[in-house]
């Protein structure tokens, strides 16, 4: 699992963003408890790429994760728009 996460990270940094997103999604499929925190990384990637529908599905799928993270993220995206959230996440 860590190797696949590392591959996804490398792909993202090399600009192969769609491949990286696919690997992150596969990691969540393989490890639905997500003890690696992949959902948080994936959320940032989806926002940066403007994949609003995928982002919404991720939030919906993780609405009961107990951290409040997805609920806060969802409210922020609704109030500010996903583009603004992407700027906040990436420090731009």
User: What pLDDT score was predicted for residue 92?
Assistant: 46
Host domain of residue 39: 2-90
pLDDT tens digit string along 30-82? 998 899 989 989 988 998 898 888 988 888 887 776 555 555 655 565 555 55
CA 4 to CA 63: how far, in whole Å?
25
Per the structure block, which two tokens stand in for 21? 């997103």
The predicted model scores a pTM of 0.74
Q: How far apart are CA 69 and CA 92, in angstroms?
A: 21
Counting the structural domains of the chain, the total is 1
Residue 67 is part of a domain; what is its CATH number?
1.25.40
Q: What pLDDT does 90 receive?
A: 56
């Amino acid at each position: 699992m860590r190797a696949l996460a590392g591959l996804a990270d490398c792909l993202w940094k090399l600009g192969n963003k769609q491949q990286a997103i696919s690997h992150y999604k596969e990691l969540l499929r393989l490890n639905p408890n997500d003890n690696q925190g992949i959902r948080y990384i994936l959320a940032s990637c989806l926002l940066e790429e403007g994949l609003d529908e995928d982002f919404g599905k991720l939030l919906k799928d993780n609405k009961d994760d107990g951290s409040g993270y997805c609920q806060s993220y969802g409210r922020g995206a609704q109030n500010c728009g996903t583009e603004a959230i992407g700027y906040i996440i990436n420090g731009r």
